Amino acid sequence: MPHPKMNFISKIANRFIYIIFLLFPWPVFAQNLVKYVQPMAGTAIATTASALKHGQAADTRFANTIPAVTAPFAMTQWTPETESGETKCVPPYYYKDSVFNGLRGSHWLSGSCTQDYGSFTIMPVTGKLKTANYGATFKHTDELSSPHFYSINLNQYKVKAAVTSTERCGIMQLTMGQADSLYLLIKANSDYHEGFVKVDKQKGEISGYNPAHRIYQGWGKSAGFSGFFVIRFERSLDKTGTFSGDKIFNADSIKNDAGTGIYAGFKLNKGEKLTIRIGTSFTSLDGARKNLQAEMPGFDFDKMVESSRVKWEKALGQINISTNSEQDKRIFYTSFYHAMQHPRLFNDVDGRYPRFAGDYQIEQLSGGNYYDDFSMWDIYRAQLPLFEILNPTLINNLAKSLILKGKQGGWMPVFPCWNSYTSEMIGDHTASVVSSAYLKGITDFDAKEAYQILRHNAFELPANRADYVEGKGRRALDSYLKYQYIPLEDSVRDAFHKMEQVSRTMEYAYDDYALAQFAKALKKPADYTALTKRAKYYANVFDATSGFVRGKHADGTWISPFDPDKKATYITEGTARQYTFYVPQDVTGLAKLMGGTKKLEQSLDSLFEKGEYWHGNEPGHQIPFMYNYSPSPWKTQAAVRKILATEYSDGPGGLGGNDDAGQMSAWYLFASMGFYPVNPVSGEYLLCSPLFDKIAITLQNGKKFEIICHKSSPKSMYIRSVKLNGKMMPDNFIRYNDIRNGGKLDIYLNDQPGNNWAIKPANQPKGM
């Protein structure tokens, strides 16, 4: 046993080292960036003009984020719960609510309109044991929220609850405001009444699971895995039992009933703390135990809070911005935090994970990590491209995860969530993600194998109809190949999003372009030629007479009557005017269909002048940057600045619609830094004027890419000229390797539009 004096000296030394760390922090932590993150942002209803005009219902005007305590891309998020259950489109927390139901280990898809799954909740109550109607009223002044720590003072119970986390585990601390009995109520949140909770006094452990279920294709069926949790206590368990509603039982386990759980009671003095550790897993209770032992072996709550804080400082510190606007810093770093919620880590520390679309089968990784919850229709646009720049290792793991899903399920999923096929939304954008990674040199996967799985989706349909109904294969591929567009007569009935024929045609055309580039890189000329031809199928739903995309019958006639500004069944979540601009692979080709680049500019003008631009819906995210393909690139600079000012703010209502797993937030990050991937596969980023004076991006390879703004006045926002590494650059776009190689981009700004900068087609992206 160490000598007491040596323990004292060690403590003094550690305290001295900690003080030195605070006085002389590492440069990456110098700005204290965590303080700018507002986890409550997006938990209240949006009030932006476009959200009020175009949002279909109140639920689409919520960003549907939660105040998550988590690590970047972690397995489990820890959030206060104000909404019970796992109901579709209802997140665990709304800012408008005033009753706290506990701290939840959540798998909510951040910013979505999906569901939570495999979750559980821990609620502290004091005094007499209460197992029903135990929610505590609270005010937001009782809460403290950050990425690495959440606490709430429950005045009703005279107890403070706090939580911090690692990638797979959480640690909670309850602090007593008075001497009293403290009970913890632990519930598996199964809306299917399949949850199980058990107490083992001898081990000092409470454990349980909540089986996950599918939605969309296969709605209600088992997802083939559960959310498992194991809770360890720093003191021995004494008074325990089970409950169902207000009924209390003297038993050590309970399952398959509504409102059921375990309670554990303790006698504590004023100021006394109870700390509990929680491991989570998607494979087993044993997996949760191993995760807990590996990531959180002790009960030092403050140490884990600091460890989590440092982790977030490092992640946020990859991008440092210089600006005098504290509000802009809050919006930026909150967006960065939101962009690091998903995809979700799915494997245990030992590499075990549930087989994709499997039936409680477990697979073993040979290396790396396995991820799920890809809100693919959203995040292929900007969120994943952001991390192609910042974290190629993550992108490689994501690509390998998608390839594993395709191998294990037989078909590449189009929107893999809760480790299942969903066929949610439209398109087949895994083709974009995997192709883009490979073309950018992120290649630590079997490219030939990946290509064959993607090709399977693009050229074939399941021979077994049951597989198709389950969500395997592209929806309406047979019609797309037969007519070279999807006609109105094909209602696409085996999909959650039925019809939407024009939008599907356009998104498949982009995916075919993406796969064509992969085919070219792998020297497959026949496939490249066929897919490149299909990449122009978008033109088959463009009506030259009206100047818009339009629903088309199998006989080639256009739908009538036609109003480009009314929502239509053949358009996904929008109007024909809005969707006309979804041709990221061939903007120059779209301009030709319209009658030239000047006509493209006029069409863009009309969209904005009519107030028809809807930033809350992803298919329009590239639109403001499309002026860079016109004679007036300065209009991109003006449009983007306006969107940054009106569609984003700080505070709980600061997002204009569903954040969709970080896509809305990633748009802000790119746009505010001055570049955006209109066509993610191309590796080209369209320029606009940065919001900040200086941006420094620290790359994973150790290099830095800096963007420096030189303004004629504080109001300057129009680009006069650009230099890349000291050389004049006439183009209005930069390339992936310009960034990944490190260097400096100098952007010179004026108060008035620069009518001569990058106005020639030679200085603009070429498209196809």
Q: What is the pLDDT of residue 238?
A: 87
At position 260, the amino acid (one-letter code) is T
Among 279-283, 593-597, 614-618, which stretch is predicted with the lowest mean pLDDT?
614-618
Distance between CA 548 and CA 81 in Å, rounded?
A: 45
Asked if residue 579 has pLDDT above 90, the reply is: yes
Among 9-18, 203-212, 250-259, which stretch is predicted with the lowest mean pLDDT?
9-18
pLDDT tens across 699-717, in order?
999 999 999 999 999 999 9
Which residues are CB-neighbours of 35 under 8 A, at least 6 positions away? 146
Q: What is the pLDDT of residue 275?
A: 98
Distances (CA, A) of 550 to 377, 541, 562, 662: 21, 6, 8, 30
Q: What is the pLDDT of residue 62?
A: 82
Q: What is the pLDDT of residue 15?
A: 41
Taking alpha carbons only, the member of 634, 641, 673 closest to residue 752 is 634
Residue 55: pLDDT band with limits 50, 70, 90: low
pTM of the model: 0.95
Write down the number of H helices and E strands in the chain: 20, 33
**What b-and-e string marks burial along 449-470, b requiring 16 or more CB atoms within 10 Å of the CB?**
ebbebbbbbbeebbeeeebbeb
Interval 568-584 mean pLDDT: 97
Asked if residue 597 has pLDDT above 90, the reply is: yes
209 vs 655, residue with greater confidence: 209
Interval 357-370 mean pLDDT: 97
Q: Return the residue matching tokens 């504590």.
A: 268
> Residue 354 is encoded by which pair of tokens?
């549930």
Residue 56: pLDDT band with limits 50, 70, 90: low
Residue 1: pLDDT band with limits 50, 70, 90: very low
